[in-house]
Copies of this chain bind each other. A is one copy, B any other.
Amino acid sequence: MTVYDAPLKDMRFVLHEVLQIANYSNLPGFSDASEDLVDAILEEGAKLASNVLHPINQSGDQQGCTRQDDGAVTTPDGFKDAYHRFCEGGWQGLSFDPEYGGQGLPYILAVAVNEMISGANMAFGMYPGLARGAADAIYVHGTDEQKSTYLPKMISGEWGGTMNLTESHCGTDLGLLRAKAVPQDDGSYRITGSKIFISAGEHDLTENIIHLVLARIEGGPEGVKGISLFIVPKFHINEDGSNGARNGVMCGAIEEKMGIHANSTCVMNYDDAQGYLLGEPHKGLRAMFTMMNEARIGVALQGMAISEVAYQNGAAYAKDRLQGRSLTGVKNPDGAADPIIVHPDVRRMLMDHRAFTEGARAWMYWTALYADLHHKSGDEAERQKADDYLGLMTPILKAYLTDKGYWHATNAQQVLGGHGYITEWGMEQFVRDARITMIYEGANGIQALDLVGRKLMKDGGRALQTFIKELDDFIADNQGNEDMQPYLDGVTTAKGHLGEATMWLSANAMANFDNAGAGSMDFLHLFALTSLSYSWAQMAKTALEKQAAGSSDEFYKNKLITGRYFLERLLPDTASHLAKLKSGAEAVMALPAEAF
């Protein structure tokens, strides 16, 4: 009963008008991405999302995946057909290197398409998403032979892919892992061990699945420094590229879980499975991180995308459901009651959504543009800046967009009252699906620790300094523009709180690093709000320019209303995050463990 309509107008606004991607035509791939082509791709993606993927979102949740006695896994009805159409459209290779069958288009465009796929059917999107992540790792770390063996079929969608990190006793702390790899005379390895929580671990969508598996080479060093990454295909691959015999890897069970039922979350058992080293021995964790950073951006996108689709369905209900009368006089005199969108508290929930989701979209796409610059810019300094920004923003995006994505899915469910709790209406699925995004690819607490423990002070804090300078420049450039003043004030206040928080951490973390840990999540949320204040300022500037140039498009007017709402209703939280952070670790850590 839910619907998904890709927010194309907003996407185009961010891509063409705010970020002006046409200015980057000097970059490989961007020259092909004319505004018309981008729009055509977005429109095709929107059709796929609304007409093919979303209609099987609820049924997929209800049916789930089924493991057969032989370990085979059946996806829900319609998934095979939808996947076939996804592959036919060439979506898997949209931004991948043409040498391996990709279309080489900008990553930022792939991000926009992925937003639509995740919003329409998150569980579906994870099958190609995981495969793309595995392909990225092979692309960066594989030998030429590995690349030519695996990538073309992974990019066409004929083969799937997974990442296998977690074991039952270790997830965050991979140094504890037990899966082992025994070297063979032919240069391959025999992998043995059991992995859990493997998304898309087994399914019937592809002819083969290329598992990337973390294991310890027998006799290798203890801890994270002895972990290597292996390619373990489900079926051996013959010389001619066809599937050979089955490898020693099997789905042992499908986990029963809260949501994303249509994605098979598997226990994967490796029993003397033949694997091939990917990258250098004992440096598997680093190679895996190649996948994980992109994967974290992908998860952030899921958080935002679920917020968008939940908003759409909450808003539709609010306009349709007649209940009570407006506090300021009857608005729908011909009806038995007014639509509930007249009620300010219902509005508040919907406006919270818009202020978050539209801001998050602009911030996310802005970051994705830096991913393109990082990979493609010919300018060393620009590449470095892009790399800095990506490293800095990835944990913040991942944690904030998923924390808030979940929260907003909950709010959208609230708009429906009792109906929101009923399965048939589909809103509770958004909440259940969104919930995993706060956990996987590094729980959000780990993202906060990554931010304060690693990213913030890396290279002497260069990334943060560059970002703050960008904000300062923006403020200076727009000084005197009266309409921009509230936005500049917003950025200034948030930036001030962020600066104060950073100074506090600098001054107090050395003496007791728990001070950084105890404030890490507040710091992350404070940082996110600062980034959003900048994204909103950028969008407001664009909207004001369009209006000044004579546009009477309601879109710009509404954008500025939503921007004002952001300043008034979301941004004030920077102060309380700062206050909490500055209270330090003492009360957090004072209780003895046994008191809990």
Contact = CB atoms under 8 A, between A and B. Distances in A.
A78 interface: no
Contacts of A349: 445
A448 B345 contact: yes
Contact of A517 (B327, B444, B453): B327
Copies of the polypeptide in the assembly: 2
Contacts of A583: 568-569
A330 interface: no
Contacts of A503: none
Contacts of A576: 572-573, 575-576
B172 A417 contact: yes
Contact of A324 (B172, B562, B565, B596): B172
Interface in A549-596: 554, 558, 561-562, 564-565, 568-569, 572-573, 575-576, 579-580, 583, 585, 587-596
Contact of A587 (B171, B328, B561, B590): B561
Nearest to A587: B565
Interface stretch (A98-106, A201-209, A254-262, A378-386): A254-262
A421 B576 CA distance: 30
Q: Which of A196, A350, A410 has the most CB of B within 10 A?
A: A410
Contacts of A256: 422-424
- Is chain A's interface secondary structure helix, strand, loop, or mixed overall? helix
Interface in A12-55: none
A149 to B, nearest CB: 31
Interface string A149-184: 000000000000000001001111100100000000
A348 interface: yes
A341 interface: yes
Contacts of A343: 445, 449, 517
B418 A171 contact: yes
Interface in A433-449: 435-436, 438-440, 443-445, 448-449
Nearest to A176: B336
B438 A414 contact: yes
Contact of A347 (B324, B558, B588): B588
Interface stretch (A388-396, A454-462, A508-516): A508-516
A478 interface: no
Nearest to A166: B418
6 contacts: A256-B423, A257-B423, A328-B512, A351-B588, A568-B583, A569-B588
Given A349-B445, A410-B435, 9 more contacts: A169-B322, A171-B417, A173-B324, A258-B422, A258-B431, A341-B596, A345-B449, A414-B444, A428-B435
